[in-house]
Amino acid sequence: MSTHIGAQAGDIAPLVLMPGDPLRAKWIAQTFLEDARCYTEVRGMYGYTGTWRGHRVSVQGSGMGQPSLAIYANELFTEYDVQSVIRVGSCGAMTERLAVRDIVIGSGACTDSSMNRIRFDGLDYAPVADFGLLRAAHDAATAAALDEAVHVGLLYSSDSFYPARPEHAARMVEYGVLAVEMEASALYTLAAKFDRRALAICTVSDHLVTGEETTSQERERTFGAMVEIALSAGAGTVR
């Protein structure tokens, strides 16, 4: 039983979907999983396990930001032997190539966080997604013929929701970054450390260029397309 999750051995499936918002975790479990059972409410960070098309799947909230996600990812990998984690989150579009409700499958994650600089003694590590999950997610999105546009590319994992240096975002866009979020870099790094699989799939909830945004309730309950992609990709690649 881990400190922050508190689940019993066997409670958590080898495949975990991980939204930041614990209420989105609850919504995903109630909407997409059969026989979903809550295995944790520690600190209000809900976790559920159920089945999707015969595959055992868990959904675990992570909270906002890389330090919070790192706590849950570490415990999932080390205490519960989770093999694959797919982040299903929201992101802010940084370029006019994207529209609100588009989906970004993160091939890699740039960051302004010091977490990896500390981990690698000042070296620049490049956190990337698991290619098998990435390919499976792209294939699932293509097969689903979604109304939402799906993009594959770089995410920017920022430590600040309200950045002190907004010009950094513009520089990222010059180098092909599509959207900003707050967790993928830490997830990809930890998956590499523990030889596990990770992917971030994010729905555009707001647009840094146009100012358009969704409501908090829409972010919690209406981003179902990315969940379907994640479930299809994850269930098809569980070892």
Q: Which tokens hold the place of 157?
A: 């994992």
CA distance 106 to 154: 5
CA distance 24 to 48: 11
Of 112, 139, 159, 206, which residue is the catalytic one?
206
Helix boundaries (H) for the chain: 22-32, 66-79, 115-119, 131-144, 167-174, 184-193, 216-221, 224-235
CA distance 42 to 40: 6
159 counts as catalytic: no
**What are the backbone dihedrals phi and psi of residue 175, each rounded to the nearest 5 degrees, phi first?**
-105, 20
Q: Closest Cα to residue 200, out of 171, 234, 172?
A: 234
Write the burial class of residue 45 (CB in 10 Å: 0-12 exposed, 13-18 middle, 19+ buried). buried
Q: Which amino acid is at 120?
A: F
Residues marked active site are found at 206
